[in-house]
Amino acid sequence: MKKLALHWQILIGMSFGVLFGLVMTQFSFGKHVIVDWIKPFGTIFINVLKLIAVPLILASLIKGVSDLKNISQLSNMGLRTIILYLLTTLTAVSIGLGIVNLIKPGNSLSETTRTELLNSYANDAAKKQSVAEVQKDAGPLQALVDLVPSNIFSALQDNGNMLQVIFFALLFGLALVLIPKKKSKPVKDFIDSVNDVILKLIDLIMLTAPYGVFALLAAIVVEAPSIDLFKALGLYTITVICGLALMILFYVTIVRIITGKKIGNFLKGISPAQLLAFSTSSSAATLPVTMECVTDKLDVEEEVSSFVLPIGATINMDGTSLYQAVAAVFIAQAFGIDLNFSAQIGIILTATLASIGSAAVPGAGMVMLVIVLAQAGIPEAGLALIFAVDRPLDMCRTSINVTGDASVSIIVSKLLKVK
């Protein structure tokens, strides 16, 4: 009997997780059973994925850079990667602003629902605001300062320091290219072996993916707010999902035009990563699977995928930036604030930069949204309005994030071949 493909296994695990969660909500003890006995397995699954995120980025980036023949090849790949990531992010924010101004979901919220949400989520909103205050008060060049680690071992201890790890990996790989091959060979052989070991670990971990996503989805269902809140914010949710769907359309269009790859083949190849991203809400946790899909199923060279994807998982958050644009305007509409053209241009620029600085972990976009709201003069307390539906939308936008990373890697690969 033919073994079921991974993405189907994950999809089945997600479906059973939702059904099991819905069934358990019918019992008074159901939520406690899932939270105490089921959810921990989902947490363990995410933790194991995060466990190998930093070693994967370190080994794959060093390998990817050191495999390049010369510095000019690195600069060509790096320039194309950054330009494409910026273009896709700007497109995402623009689509978000366009669709939220067209649908105007904020006008549909009743005063009763708004007050209920503000009271229910005021504490959570305050926590996000306090975290974002540090980022708001930082100087204009603080991002550059934060990019360079003072101690690489400290940076390796925290998944939130991915940019610092990437900076070190790029420098290390660059140094390997510059020194004589005879001297670099022992180090390169070691890095290659470490990379192979990590990839094998990924294969082993992914055997547990269906069970991990089952636990995660079951927990989300029983911990979700009341259905009335979802109905009140339904139009906002539809707006975000429509925007994300347009981003998928944008990706497949540019991939088809530039590379000639069939849309069906592209979506089928990246589907395991999309489903895992949806389940975990973490681009960083999904990175190992994204790299495997792009390399094995979409025929992108390993030296390209190992360079483009780790950077994308850290700085390319198209789904997050689109969501920030929609959320900012939605909150403004809910509070009756009229945003002029210049204010919305400011949202485009701020959301683009905020998405670059957003950590590739669940919920990070909510923290960065505070900065976008502050720039546009929108009350930060409005964060409470969207907390009820943020988790499921976080799952959707993370799928878009990894799809964008995969699209750029395919395009960069094609452009380098043309050259």
pLDDT for position 2:
59
Q: Select the more confidently predicted residue: 88 or 155.
A: 88
CA distances from 414 to 22, 146, 289, 303, 304 (A): 45, 33, 21, 13, 10
pTM of the predicted structure, to 2 decimals: 0.69
Report percent pLDDT > 70 for the chain: 78
Task: Answer yes or no: is 1 within a domain.
Answer: no
What's the pLDDT band for 187 if we cut at 50, 70, 90? very high
pLDDT tens-digit readout, 243-260: 999 999 999 999 999 999
Task: Answer yes or no: is 136 within a domain.
Answer: yes
pLDDT for position 190:
94
Task: Answer yes or no: is 286 within a domain.
Answer: yes
pLDDT tens-digit readout, 281-306: 778 778 888 998 999 899 898 888 88
What's the pLDDT band for 162 if we cut at 50, 70, 90? low
Q: Can you give the CATH number for the domain in which 92 is found?
A: 1.10.3860.10
pLDDT tens-digit readout, 364-419: 566 567 667 766 777 666 666 676 677 788 889 889 999 999 999 999 999 887 54
Kindly report the average pLDDT of the chain as a whole number: 80
Q: Residue 357 pLDDT more than 60?
A: no
Of 188, 123, 135, the C-alpha closest to 160 is 135
Q: How many independent structural domains does the chain possess?
A: 1
Task: Answer yes or no: is 395 within a domain.
Answer: yes
pLDDT tens-digit readout, 47-106: 887 787 778 778 877 887 777 666 666 677 888 888 898 899 889 989 999 999 998 887
What domain range includes position 104? 6-418
pLDDT for position 29:
92
- 297-317 burial code (b ≥16 CB/10 A, e <16): bbebbbbbbbbbbbbbbbbbb
Task: Answer yes or no: is 166 within a domain.
Answer: yes
Task: Answer yes or no: is 374 within a domain.
Answer: yes
